[in-house]
Amino acid sequence: MTSGAKVIEFELRGEFIPLDALLKATGIAPSGGVAKRMVAAGDVQVDGREELRKTCKIRAGQGVQALGVRVRVMAAQPQ
């Protein structure tokens, strides 16, 4: 990771979140449609590999990168 990359820590509310929903929830994509197009275009990596499945299940411990932003997916903290 480059020192200038923005890192977002995202806390799951359930077991997983679909990739396109994660991109929208973190603000990387302004809408679900844009998120789906980003994935289809090959602009998104999950754990360092290109991911083309728009609704790929993203779970705690995984990392997502798009548009110079890295997202660390964290397990939900007990209340």
Q: CA torsion sign, 60 to 62 to 65 to 70?
A: positive
Instruction: Name the pLDDT band for 53 (thresholds 50, 70, 90).
Output: very high
* pLDDT of res. 1: 44
Model pLDDT for residues 5-45, shown as the tens digit of each residue: 799 999 999 999 999 999 999 999 999 999 999 999 999 99
Given a cut of 70, whether residue 3 has pLDDT beyond it is no
pLDDT at 76: 85
CB 61 within 8 A of CB 52: no
> Token pair for residue 16?
């997983």
78 has pLDDT over 80: no
Domains of the chain as residue ranges with CATH:
6-74 (3.10.290.10)
